[in-house]
Amino acid sequence: MLVDACAIGWGASGRNGGQVIPGLKYDPDELIARYGQELGERMVDASGRNADVVFDLIKRHDIHCDATRHGWIQPAATETALRVTQSRGQQWADRGVAVEWLDRDECSRRLGSDAYLGGWLDPRAGGLNPLAYARGLASAAESAGAKLYEHSAVESIRHKDDKWQVMVHSGGCVETDQVLICTNGYTGGLYKGLDKSLIAANSFQIATRPLSEAEGAGILPGGEMASDTRKLLLYFRRDSSGRFLMGGRGPFHDPRGGQDFRHLERAIHKLYPALKGVDIEYRWGGRVALTRDALPHVHQPAPGLTVALGYNGRGVGMGTHLGKLIGETLGSDSLQESLPFPITPVRPIPLHGLQRFYVGAVVNYYRVKDWLER
Ligand SMILES: Cc1cc2nc3c(=O)[nH]c(=O)nc-3n(C[C@H](O)[C@H](O)[C@H](O)COP(=O)(O)OP(=O)(O)OC[C@H]3O[C@@H](n4cnc5c(N)ncnc54)[C@H](O)[C@@H]3O)c2cc1C
């Protein structure tokens, strides 16, 4: 049974960039150096297979979500960033991935923009319409017998008489042996300190009107997804109706109007000057959950109460895969063995109340860093 405070896909799952990208923030060698051979390899393996899991599910359940699998380009705007992408691509190539190296000319041709010095392409990645994917997964779960309750905010969870009691806003109560909290960037006060264990930051997106054939001809003609290496990264792609989508950081507050999206319009014009004057038809934002170690977190603060969240902007693949692994072993002794991440205590971030200022300061710091590294 699933209870969600809003409609299926109302959260980041229905609002994201639809880029299904394998891997985590850290590259394979760094994961192994940080977490040791055994756990590090599990993280590399699981995160490397994220996209396979997503596209297999789409195929198995015949989910109509405009899924395409033409790879992900990570272009670099500076020499330093280029070396990072080369090392990243090489580490995956060493693990058998058929990565492609894009020199400046090839990168410009694939993107349709000469704003970058080169980059690499990960062929495992792909794209989809996120809301259609979320709804498709929900239908598949219902067909398999799951009961889904929308507009049913959970107000509290308590343990009583050997059962968990999940109290819903409407006054209902669900009694169960196992509870999984997966509220990510929309985490409230369901479990002590959980909301303070992550930073809920906004990511914003805009979409142009569908481009004419002539306007769109040179822009990502191969149908790849792209996101660059900036600390405050830009992510962009075309969708199935020919729109151009651009995403990036947003202000700390939820969107208040067109001015909150101007930086994304400027980014489009910088990368694709020919799109100046093309109408922006949609603007929206949503919350990503950032963790201190930039890894997803799994907690089990009490037997039968499990938490999974903190995808750091990479939840389409990682959230799907982690959800599958947890779903297969929740309630069994083999949960930890099956997971690519350790089950850790809930650790609130010190001075969390100042997150508005953290995020503002970090954004400014990275803005300057990106500028200095141009
Ligand atoms: C603009 C944007 C662009 C992104 N782009 C990408 C991308 O291209 N690729 C990628 O991999 N990731 C991307 N992400 C991140 C990705 O969308 C998330 O990591 C992922 O969707 C998280 O899924 P989730 O189910 O854990 O959380 P969500 O989809 O956010 O769902 C959380 C749910 O919790 C519910 N909830 C909260 N409190 C309660 C309560 N008390 N009771 C009941 N329900 C509750 C909410 O209603 C919500 O539906 C992006 C995110 C944003 C916002």
Nearest protein CA to atom 48 of ligand 1, as residue: 11
Give the number of the atom of ligand 1 that is nearest the alpha carbon of residue 235: 8
305-309 and 179-181: which strand pairing? parallel
Least confident segment among 50-64, 239-253, 350-364: 350-364
72-76 and 225-227: which strand pairing? parallel
Instruction: Please give the pLDDT value at position 108.
Output: 98
The pLDDT of residue 206 is above 70: yes
Nearest protein CA to atom 27 of ligand 1, as residue: 184
Q: Is the CB of 10 under 6 A from ligand 1?
A: yes
The pLDDT of residue 367 is above 90: no
Q: Is the CB of 50 under 6 A from ligand 1?
A: no
Instruction: Please give the pLDDT value at position 179.
Output: 98
* pLDDT mean over 224-250: 94
Q: Is the CB of 316 under 6 A from ligand 1?
A: yes
Query: What percent of the chain lies above the pLDDT cut of 70?
Result: 94
If phi over 0 gives left and psi between -120 and 50 gives alpha, with beta otherwise, what is residue 347?
beta
* pLDDT mean over 73-91: 97
302 HSE (CA, 13 A, CB side): 14
Least confident segment among 43-52, 301-310, 349-358: 349-358
Tokens 């290496």 locate to 229
In DSSP terms, which residues pair with 307 in a beta bridge? 181, 299
* pLDDT mean over 61-89: 97
Instruction: Please give the pLDDT value at position 136.
Output: 98
Confidence band of 22 (pLDDT split at 50, 70, 90): very high
pTM for this model (two decimals): 0.95
Mapped onto helix, strand or coil, the DSSP state of residue 195 is helix
| Cα of 277 from ligand 1 centre, angstroms | 32
Instruction: Please give the pLDDT value at position 252.
Output: 75
pLDDT digits (tens, 9 = 90+) for 98-107: 999 999 999 9
Nearest protein CA to atom 45 of ligand 1, as residue: 5
Task: Give the whole-angstrom CA distance, residue 316 versus residue 305.
Answer: 23
Confidence band of 111 (pLDDT split at 50, 70, 90): very high
Task: Give the whole-angstrom CA distance, residue 116 versus residue 177.
Answer: 53
The pLDDT of residue 369 is above 80: no
114-117 LR contacts (CB < 8 Å, sep 24+) = 115/75, 115/77, 115/270, 115/271, 116/75, 116/76, 116/77, 116/228, 117/75, 117/76, 117/77, 117/78, 117/79, 117/81, 117/82
Q: Is the CB of 24 under 6 A from ligand 1?
A: no
Nearest protein CA to atom 25 of ligand 1, as residue: 13
| Cα of 182 from ligand 1 centre, angstroms | 9
Q: Is the CB of 3 under 6 A from ligand 1?
A: yes
Give the number of the atom of ligand 1 that is nearest the alpha carbon of residue 17: 8
Give the number of the atom of ligand 1 that is nearest the alpha carbon of residue 311: 19
